[in-house]
Structure 1
Amino acid sequence: MAEHPAYPVGLRLSGRRVVVLGGGQVAQRRLPALIAAGADIVLVSPEATPSVEAMADTGEITWLRRGYEDGDLADAWYALIATSDPEANTRASAEAERNRVWCVRSDDADRATAWTPATGHSEGVTVAVLTTDARGRDPRHTAAIRDAVVEGLRDGTLVAPHHRTRTSGVALVGGGPGDPDLITVRGRRLLAEADVVIADRLGPRDLLAELPPHVEVIDAAKIPYGRYMAQEAINDALIEHAKQGKSVVRLKGGDPFVFGRGMEEVQALAEAGIPCTVVPGISSSISVPGAAGIPVTHRGVAHEFTVVSGHVAPDDERSLVDWPSLARLTGTLVVLMGVDKIGKIAETLVAHGRSPGTPVALVQEGTTAAQRRVDATLATVAETVRTEDVKPPAVIVIGEVVQVGPGTSA
């Protein structure tokens, strides 16, 4: 048997009896997949790990609290033998052979009639990897191959063409703060499968260079529009391409719903009858401070943080922010899109009670190769922005957390 490779097959175990002997670490690793497959699982073991015991407590498996006995594999379709008793393992394996039950043995793979592949999953695809040469099995190498394939499918670097008609529509993808490695796995996969990508300038631009040549990339900042018609023009572009039967990705910086007008696009697509998938992204309000060594909360320093848009000044009649209330908070204040208004913002916070010496950090081009951090206080931040030539995009953090990290100063 060892001279021939294993024959790969997918077992459909839903509702079928599966017997697991042993409740240790091997069972703990294998049981979740068997449960997900819908198997009728019987665990035979005098003891079990806390995690396995919890599976029994919730009714996911039936636990017989004893050692193996002849006849335990009767009517089983599949067996996993993983006890610490070699003699019991041998007897159970012999019973499986007599009853033609496919049997995996954790203690002696050469005496098993089945092997468990290294498996992984990605959007409806199961990847299972087996070593073909029984004499040279290397579980770590097999797992590494599995991981490489699954990672490629998830992040879009390994793309298999679709041979069936795909459903057209729009995916609203949050691209994260700028570093291409910080987009979600799902977002990157959808990007790799797109026909059209409409991208913001703050999205992870490096990912666009990886797209196949046939993908149409549209810079949202260059769509012709009047000053106040930008969002309507983008909505129209999304609808137009989706109605042509194309798979469209709207790639936005950060998270689509954090000052990103994502819901306006969702509403426009819904009115046009176009399906839309929303993929959340890592918001720059948290990730950029973190990348600069600033926690937005810290034990004994800040028990809350508030994220606010600074695109209009506090004295602007269009402002919806209650700045006096924010000044009275003791936690962290994170300001997005506020570089050119930080002077007015600082004045307002101080006027309503925040200390002029409150630490401030400005993190420009956060998470990218051009990232830089500039520190100041509420009293000095306006002048610091001018002298240090701080430019958007920059995340502004106001509060004592600015000084928590090692080697920081106001």
Structure 2
Amino acid sequence: MATLHKTPKRVVMHRWHWRGKNLRGETVSGELVAADATEVRKELARQKIIVKRVTRKTGLFGLGRIRSRDVTLFARQMATMIRAGIPLLQACRVVAETLKNPAMRNLVENLANDISAGASFSEALSRHPARFDRMFIAMVAAGEQAGALDRMLERIASYREKIETLKGRIRKALYYPTAVIAVGIGVTALLLIKVVPQFESLFASFGADLPAFTRMTIHLSELAQAYWWQAILAMIAAGFLLKHLASRSDTFAYRLHALLLRLPVLGNIVDKGSIARFSRTLATTFSAGIPLVEALETATGATGNRVHQRALTNIREDVGNGQQLNFAMRRTRVFPIMAVQMVSIGEEAGELETMLDKVAEFYEEEVDNQVDALTSLLEPLIIVVLGVLVGGLVTSMYLPIFQMGSAI
């Protein structure tokens, strides 16, 4: 008879604050990570502590979320500790005590437990692939082998800080136009739904024909009042549908990312940002002694764009077959000529990682300049768009009043 295997239930860990008395009658307190209060009481009973109170410090959904900057801070702190001569296990314990994020603190404590059980630092990290990517683990392993773990962790932290700064600039470039459009739609909808109906009741008492512009505004107001919630639901549904299709269909996601690259101004920013991330990641991993083919595999996931990811997959295959990196990049027709030429110079001079760093710096600066230019361009555009929308609606509502005044 076949045995049915049940899917294990996910255990949500919380941080608990406890207070009690020890065997000498002294009041003691502290914190523990456990699934429930019963586990906390059992652990304290094992330590001969009489529990007075146990309260949960974290929220309903567990210890919270680990952000990218938490991992970056962890790498920076570990590099500092190891450089100061503190043993790895003790460094993990000290860093865990300084972290304010309960989820990250719990993660570091788990790493410390794995290390105390005999695992290397890279092995402990590899048991948490959702938190530490392949590049992080590979560079830590290389640092352990070379006896330069502190320098590798410092390099990882610097790399992650630069990538996060770049991502923040690109997000700003994408969110700013979205915010402009959202503000324009919101103000227009508010006027059509709340303000125009007040004028409509006033115009009904005039008993005269209204100007065409006013009639059009009133018609739009009636549509907005009747279907505003359907419009909101349609936009939300469209957003979820796009996200679902992008996650399920590689072809759809590829076309969506290709369309994003073709957008004026924004597409250029996303394209250069993706190239900068690829160059920075490849330079960091290759300089750590990781083979080029493996470094390319790591860099493929760092671009954040399906068009560049597909191109890098082809590049990795070509390089694995013995072709030079610059020739493989040129074949894809995705990377700019300047980037390809700089990579070619780096390969010929034996300074590939240095030239890749220069490529990353150049395109990061380009992204910064274009984001600043876009921001400067959109600021007056916001005023113009809102002025036209609001001014047009207000003018259409006051036209009948002006006509009546001139007739009198």
- TM-score scaled by length of structure 1: 0.22
Structure of greater relative contact order (alpha carbons < 8 Å, 6+ residues apart): 2
* Structure with more of its chain in strand, by fraction: 1
